[in-house]
Structure 1
Amino acid sequence: TPVAVVLIGFFGGSLITLYFSLIGDFFGTRFSTSNNAVLYTGKAISGVLGSVFFSYLLTVSIGVAGLYVTASSLIGTMLLVLFTLRRTGSGMSKSHREKYEDI
């Protein structure tokens, strides 16, 4: 479907230019090359293993594949929200943020 093609293009390749700056912002610029190598290695491995695993699920049952897509989307969304809340410290008082900053 056209929607799937747009989503795959958007999440699979068009944001690649932002990865380098995000890696530098998160981990520092000193070891940017090594960090980008780890990122691309993980992306390649997950691309191969994810497609093999999903194709197996699709051969078992379309319902199982749909359940997998739904569950992984929900888990990804929850992790994104938790990471964002933890990074910004939302929902915590100042004393709690100071207490848990070292963790």
Structure 2
Amino acid sequence: MASDTDTDPDTSSGIDTGTVLVRDAWARVLKHGDFTNDDDFFLVTGAHSLLAAHIMADVCAATGQRLSLRLFFDNPTVNGLAAALADTTHGENRS
């Protein structure tokens, strides 16, 4: 049974692909996965603003979208950024 910390991109597991994308980018850039989807990025060990820029570059490359770094600063959790990405995809985010 899938838990809320699984990174299975199968949406039937309760984890959407945006969350998986963001979580994978965080883990890749931070070089660890020792965080929850609700942890504030800037309070996670090893996190700083330059790494946030790297994460956003990864997310932009994966989605094919041009996204503002401000989106990350306004949504510094995996769940928050994934939700903001979903809003942006649907034209609801203007930042």
The TM-score normalised by the length of structure 2 is 0.29
The TM-score normalised by the length of structure 1 is 0.28
Larger helix percent: 1
Higher relative contact order (CA 8 A, sep 6+): 2
